[in-house]
Amino acid sequence: MPNVFIPAENTQIIEYKAIDFFCGGGGMTCGLRQAGINVVAGVDFDKDAKETYEFNNHGSTFVLADINELKDEYFEENFQLTRNDDNLILVGCSPCQFYSIINAPKIKAKQSKDLLLQFQRFVDYYNPGYVLVENVPGIISNKDTVLPQFLQFLENKQYNVVMKVINMKDYGVPQNRRRFSLIATRLEREISLPEKDSEVRRFCDCLGVENGFPEIPAGHTDTSDFAHTTAGLLDKNKKRLAKTQKDGGTRMAWKDDPELQLRCYIGRDNSFKDVYGRMFWKQPSSTITTKFFNISNGRFAHPFEDRAISIREGAILQSFPLEYVFKTESIATAAKLIGNAVPPEYARRVGLMITNN
């Protein structure tokens, strides 16, 4: 539903609308809609995201397109967007492989490097009232980053910019997830990033049996929309988890076991210590990546159960609503949509910074 905002000093009704570039499965769209913003369309070239996006965000159209090939006037012609609209929000949360500290295929990473500048094209053409950007912190520090060029562009267009590296755990998301966040406006008004919470949400605050997540084994398949589904484990990995201390344990518990120790870590106890680790029960989770269903890719094991976290548990840690349905045919595809998403709760709070001020 579109937001209807009535300033105290007059009766002017404002309807905010947005285009969500690089929308994926709809994390940002979901949050903005919760803030009352009419997300007209989401744009992404990942065909796996289309059904999930549109199923959960009725009324927001998924545009399956490569931004490099999308014409500036596309939204003008197909969605009746107008240029210089004070109430238009353009969102550009581009893929971050190039700027991420996580290893990614070099060709794919280079393809993501300049996507922010492609987004800039549409900001230049439509001159929206607001611009939102979210990315990994590396977009600031990488020596080849295009961020300075984008910021100079915003300055030349007379946008007021607020930006900061934040941790999602401070904004209602039960997860350690550091991200670069930017809000910009060309209007004469105060803008800011959301205020931090006084307390953080933890794994135990939203997951576990008492929160509706029954104990399940590795390899469990849940065919319902709840998707409490987990990846299977090799026998050797079952043995590794059985020896890993509950509630935050690491692979250090079996580093001296010749049967279980991994060759690549012999003599390298301090390398990638989170790999095969368990999450902490009374802390926010580790960063949810696209591989959170696999214990060999990070600290993704359940605090007490001998398995990786499930698809639904990963979605909850990303702050997706319980009713959000991931319309995919594989665990890997669902995890990709979840791990790549902007946490909806943070997106909601950012949206409210626009609509409530």
44 domain residue, yes or no: yes
Count of structural domains within the chain = 1
Report d(CA 184, CA 162) in Å as an integer.
6
62 domain residue, yes or no: yes
79 domain residue, yes or no: yes
CATH of the domain at 27: 3.40.50.150
SS3 helix, strand, coil % of the chain, rounded to 5?
Answer: 35, 15, 50
Tens-place pLDDT, residues 91-104: 999 986 554 555 54
Tens-place pLDDT, residues 68-85: 999 999 999 999 999 999
- Please confirm, yes or no, whether 93 is among the known catalytic residues: no
Q: What is the three-class DSSP state of 328?
A: coil
57 domain residue, yes or no: yes
Residue 10 banded pLDDT, cuts 50, 70, 90? low
154 domain residue, yes or no: yes
Residue 108: the pLDDT is: 52
Residue 1 banded pLDDT, cuts 50, 70, 90? very low
Task: Give the global pTM.
Answer: 0.92
23 domain residue, yes or no: yes
160 domain residue, yes or no: yes
Residue 271: the pLDDT is: 73
Mean pLDDT of 217-245: 97
Residue 112: the pLDDT is: 67
Report d(CA 203, CA 300) in Å as an integer.
12
293 domain residue, yes or no: no
Mean pLDDT of 230-244: 97
Spell out the alpha helix ranges (H) of 220-343: 235-243, 311-317, 331-339
Tell me which of 23, 30, 93, 96 is the catalytic residue: 96
Host domain of residue 112: 17-195+343-355
